[in-house]
């Protein structure tokens, strides 16, 4: 049976989801919604689907089963709660919400109501990272090094999406948990001395260096930056005794410095398709754990001290 869907938030990521819903045989892009009325009517025309100026109208349409939340993170909580109350299937872009204290009660509600929920941790489906995961499966690893730097980032967008750690860091904290098959026990962030004054004035960071110690003794080092001359750069290197693996080998050279929506475009499709095909909760725990790490990274950056973590 076809799953009728609605995409909320129609910028780069929302548009990718619209295309993917059309590409997946089991789903149909039935509605699009955005606060910007010009944008929502332009996109509904482009994809030949419906739109409305009233979200409640879409919500009450019983034929719409799946909602993809791709609006800024500071709007997620509102939509997630509305959708839970109408028992809808939810694909939520990372992170789930802004306020960590509200995370556990929300997860409990999702579980109790048996809502099919997916957190968009799409990097787990990116080819270079799948390749690395396969290579390290039977090896003992000691160190994970991750770099993520982007060019021309918009500070207001970073703030709407929860800041450096929740917006950018979350994907890479999750990758490190996945690669290490473990959970962090302590974390240290150095961000204040590295960040641009305009970010600091707005309670955000533009740059950070983060170190995590995992339960199984693996160490992960992260370097995040909102500046990069050449474009978007992300790289994972994993070291073990007499062995190392580097994601550079597996990224397409032609799109190496392109934005994530180009260089790992297919991962968004695969993440959504996996959710549709498995038809059950995907990455709810992983998304929640990654968000707890983001919060600890932020606390550590603010107080400039190591933080202990317990899961
Ligand atoms: N998975 C990934 O790789 C990835 C990459 C980038 C962003 N994201 C996530 O996607 C989400 C959107 O991020 P973005 O940077 O595209 O955001 P954005 O600030 O560009 O906004 C996205 C769209 O949402 C619309 N919008 C704003 N408020 C709205 C509201 N209350 N209701 C409906 N629409 C609203 C805007 O008009 C805009 O078109 C965030 O949660 C972000 O963390 C994920």
Beta-carbon contacts of residue 273 (< 8 Å; ≥ 6 apart): 20, 24
Residue from 41, 79, 93 whose mutation best tests the ligand 1 pocket (most atoms within 8 A of CB): 93
Distance CA 305, CA 299 (A): 8
Ligand 1: centre distance to CA 70 (Å): 5
pLDDT confidence of residue 229: 86
Q: What are phi and psi of 199, to 5 degrees?
A: -70, -45
What distance in angstroms lies between residue 144's CA and the mean position of ligand 1's atoms? 29
Of all protein residues, the one whose alpha carbon is nearest to atom 6 of ligand 1 is 13
pLDDT at 152 over 80: no
147 shares a domain with 227: yes
Tens digit of each residue's pLDDT (9 = 90 or more) over 99-115: 999 999 999 999 999 99
85 and 150 in a single domain? The answer is no
* CATH number of the CATH domain containing 239: 3.30.360.10
| Residue range(s) defining the domain that contains residue 89 | 3-122
pLDDT tens track for 231-262: 999 999 999 999 999 999 999 999 999 998 99
Q: Is the CB of 12 under 6 A from ligand 1?
A: yes
**71 in contact with ligand 1, CB cutoff 6 A:** yes
Closest Cα to atom 20, ligand 1: which residue? 11
| pLDDT of 151 above 90 | no
112: CA distance to ligand 1 center in Å? 28
Handedness of CA 286, 131, 18, 23 (dihedral sign): negative
CA pair distance 226, 96, nearest whole angstrom: 22
Residues 194 and 110 in one domain: no
Number of domains in the chain: 2
Residues 282 and 146 occupy one common structural domain:
yes
End position of a domain, from candidates 93, 122, 151: 122
Q: Which of 106, 122, 138 is the last residue of a domain?
A: 122
User: 98 and 10, same structural domain?
Assistant: yes
Average pLDDT over residues 159-176: 97
Q: Indicate if 95 and 145 belong to the same structural domain.
A: no
* In a shared domain, residues 91 and 160: no
Task: Report the 10 Å Cβ neighbour count for 184.
Answer: 26
For residues 85 and 61, membership in a common domain is answered with yes
Give the domain CATH number at 62: 3.40.50.720
Pocket of ligand 1 contains residue 8 by CB under 6 Å: yes
Does the global pTM surpass 0.85? yes
- Ligand 1 centroid distance, CA of 128 (Å): 25
Are 108 and 183 contained in the same domain?
Answer: no
User: Do 91 and 78 sit in the same domain of this protein?
Assistant: yes
> Which of 11, 152, 166, when mutated, tests ligand 1's pocket best, judged by the most ligand atoms within 8 Å of its CB?
11
| Ligand 1 centroid, distance to 76 Cα (angstroms) | 9
59 and 94 assigned to the same domain: yes
Q: 121 falls in which pLDDT band (50, 70, 90)?
A: very high
pLDDT at position 285: 97
How far, CA to CA in Å, does 285 sit from each of 18, 115, 144? 26, 14, 22
pLDDT digits (tens, 9 = 90+) for 32-76: 999 999 999 999 999 999 999 999 999 999 999 999 999 999 999
Within this chain, do residues 79 and 169 fall inside the same structural domain, yes or no? no
Query: Which residues have CB under 8 Å from 249's CB, separation 6+?
Result: 128
* Residue where one domain finishes, among candidates 122, 139, 161: 122
Report pLDDT digits (tens) over 267-291.
999 999 999 999 899 999 999 999 9
pLDDT digit string, tens, across residues 123-149: 999 999 999 999 999 899 999 999 999
Ligand 1 neighbour 161 (Cβ under 6 A): yes
Interval between CA 13 and ligand 1 midpoint (Å): 7
Ligand 1 centre from 14 Cα, in Å? 7
């Amino acid at each position: 049976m076809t799953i009728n869907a609605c995409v909320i938030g129609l910028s780069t990521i929302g548009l990718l989801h619209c295309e993917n819903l059309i590409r997946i045989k089991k789903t149909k892009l039935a509605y699009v919604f955005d606060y910007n009325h010009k944008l929502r009517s332009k996109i509904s025309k482009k994809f030949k689907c419906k739109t409305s100026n009233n979200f409640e109208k879409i919500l009450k349409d019983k034929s719409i089963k799946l909602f993809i939340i791709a609006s800024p993170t500071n709007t997620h909580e509102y939509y997630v709660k509305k959708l839970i109350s109408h028992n809808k299937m939810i694909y939520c872009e990372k992170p789930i919400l802004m306020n960590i204290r509200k995370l556990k009660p929300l997860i409990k509600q999702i579980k109790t109501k048996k809502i099919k929920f997916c957190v968009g941790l799409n990097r787990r489906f990116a080819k270079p990272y799948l390749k690395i995961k396969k290579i390290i499966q039977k090896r003992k690893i000691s160190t994970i090094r991750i770099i993520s730097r982007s060019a021309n980032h918009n500070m207001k967008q970073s703030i709407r999406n929860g800041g450096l750690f929740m917006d950018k860091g979350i994907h890479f904290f999750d990758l490190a948990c996945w690669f290490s098959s473990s959970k962090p026990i302590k974390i240290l962030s150095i961000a204040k001395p590295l960040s641009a004054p305009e970010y600091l004035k707005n309670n955000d960071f533009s740059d950070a260096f983060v170190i995590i110690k995992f339960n199984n003794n693996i160490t992960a080092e992260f370097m995040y930056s909102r500046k990069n001359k050449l474009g978007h750069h992300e790289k994972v290197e994993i070291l073990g005794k007499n062995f190392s693996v580097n994601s550079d080998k597996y990224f397409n050279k032609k799109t190496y410095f392109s934005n994530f929506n180009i260089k790992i475009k297919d991962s968004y499709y695969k993440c959504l398709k996996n959710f549709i095909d498995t038809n059950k909760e995907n990455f709810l725990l992983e998304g929640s754990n990654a968000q707890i790490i983001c919060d600890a990274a932020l606390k550590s950056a603010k107080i400039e001290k190591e933080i202990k973590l317990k899961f």
